[in-house]
């Protein structure tokens, strides 16, 4: 209960400030309100007790991560809608299927965001382009052993995220 009290105090003292800060970053009051709420929900989900000497700096750090996620989702959504716009009408998925596909794309993007750039690139070359490990090594200018390690790291990362979300 002390943790919830701390979050409640943070909320009552700093919610208005955080909402205004987010609104200045996003230029949109509705998204700012959503992300301000998400910031406090994220704090409630933390297990450890918060010991804050600079609460606004802490809230800004948490909220900044949510803003980056928000922008990434918007960019992904725009790219997805752009790709759909180029499909023939007969191949355009239903609104329900579109939403399911977008949620799947978003989960994949979140998984890939946790990878180091070289690991992500090697993994995508293998999974999306179908390149062999040797071809990836040549294209990236790295050893075959590095490619094998990168692919193994990416698979392990995805495995951990997959089973972490189920527990």
Q: How far apart are CA 49 and CA 3, in angstroms?
A: 5
Class level of CATH domain 115-167: mainly alpha
User: 13: buried, middle or exposed (CB in 10 Å: 19+, 13-18, 0-12)?
Assistant: exposed
Q: CA-CA distances (angstroms) from residue 126 to 107, 134, 148, 151? A: 19, 10, 10, 8
Q: Give the total residue count for the chain.
A: 167
Helical residues (DSSP H) of the chain, grouped into ranges: 2-26, 29-45, 55-85, 95-113, 117-127, 133-140, 144-166
Residues of the chain where predicted confidence (pLDDT) is lower than 70: 1-3, 49-51, 165-167
């Amino acid at each position: 209960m002390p943790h919830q009290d701390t979050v409640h105090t943070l909320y009552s003292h700093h919610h208005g400030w955080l909402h205004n800060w987010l609104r200045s970053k996003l230029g949109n009051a509705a998204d700012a309100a959503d992300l301000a709420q998400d910031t406090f929900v994220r704090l409630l989900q933390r297990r450890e007790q918060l010991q804050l000497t600079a609460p606004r700096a802490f809230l800004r750090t948490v909220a900044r991560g949510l803003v980056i996620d928000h922008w990434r989702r918007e960019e992904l959504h725009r790219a997805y809608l752009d790709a759909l716009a180029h499909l023939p009408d007969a191949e355009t998925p239903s609104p329900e299927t579109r939403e399911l596909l977008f949620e799947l794309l978003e989960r994949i993007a979140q998984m890939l965001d946790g990878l180091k750039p070289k690991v992500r690139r090697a993994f995508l070359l293998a999974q999306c382009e179908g390149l062999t490990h040797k071809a990836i090594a040549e294209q990236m200018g790295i050893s075959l052993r590095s490619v094998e390690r990168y692919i193994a790291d990416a698979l392990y990362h995805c495995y951990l995220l997959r089973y972490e979300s189920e527990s």
